[in-house]
Structure 1
Amino acid sequence: MPRSIRPDAVLIQAVIAGALSFAHLHDLAAAAGQSGWKAWAYPVSVDLLLVAAWRRLRTARRDRSAWTWFVIALAASLGANVATAGLLDLEHVPAWLRILVAGWPALAFLGGTLLVHTPAVPAQPEDDEPAASEVEMHRADTAETAPAPDPTPELAPASPSAPPQPTPAPASPSVPAALLDHARKLADAHQASTGSPMPADALSARLGLPAPMVDAIAAQLQLA
């Protein structure tokens, strides 16, 4: 028993919209100087580029080239529909529109070639987190291959029979001869002016040297 044909409202609407868009593109191409079969070829070219770009977007949503050609074809179709709605004098088409219509075949051929021969970029998942099984496997591998920590080395006990070694006294710094002569002049001048030997702390304040060096100078000068 043959099936009954049920009309689909969406399909009927698509046929009507496609026919009207096809006619508008034909009228615009004819008004721009493309007569005969060439005027009928323009709507086919625009619609084919639009379909090719849409098919490419279904497999690669992030393909910028597919989005570019889809927008170009859609703009050409919408532009023709708007231009033939009375906003453009089809009897006196401007020169820029004639140039666009004449250059459309080369543009459509370039777009179709790029859409067909450019390798599609696979869509990447939005969630970049690894699967739970992969995470668990990675953790298990890490736990198995982790090296065991080295035991803390024990310190050997000190031998009770060994006597403690005396700490050597720090050697006194050597005093250059020129510095010693300068300190002696300061000490002599202080004794001449005050009548008493120059204290070590006063010498340290005058020379601005560290304490070990001042102590070595004071020892050689026999200062208090």
Structure 2
Amino acid sequence: MKLIFSPLSPFARKVRVLLHETGQLGDVEMVDVATTPLDTHPDAAAANPLGKIPALVRADGPTLYDSRVITRYLDHRAGGRMYPQARLWDVLTLEATAEGIMEAALSMTYEARFRPEEVQYAPWVDAQWQKASRALAAVNARWMSHLAGPLDMSHIAMGCALGYLDFRHDARGWRVGNEALADWYAAVSERESMAQTAPE
């Protein structure tokens, strides 16, 4: 299998952390591509008609894309412990929350990097940050007991989302008012899988 990815993508990082945690790193060739919304890398376009990463190219079936599809497949392949049936709906909901934070943060990044300064729209950026902020507050208020449990895919997704906020939007100070979540993130960041995949 081949993973078409960028080390800066929080969505791709989710997959890479899962590969670490499930012992599948040796089964997947990493294909690092530089791709943007305005200039899609040929490998990304060939793997996914939408041109988005990550994409998992398989020898025995169609290429998989969307990080949640890829992680479900890889977890199933490894025995299914990252999506435990007993708390599946909680895992999926918290993973979706983390993905929403990533999407809002990535939208902010794109507005600054790929739109000319004279047409950048500050209210749009602020609205995206409000989405992320509401999600962070909800996790801090209602999901800490889940995050305190055994590692599952929602933990990985949330860790990657928070890592992306630090990487691209650290000045926004997401930790203020979310101290419990910040403490949790400090601990989960020490896992080898998180340290090995941190964006630089």
TM-score scaled to structure 1, two decimals?
Answer: 0.25
TM-score with structure 2 setting the length: 0.27
Name the one with the larger strand percent. Answer: 2
Higher relative contact order (CA 8 A, sep 6+): 2
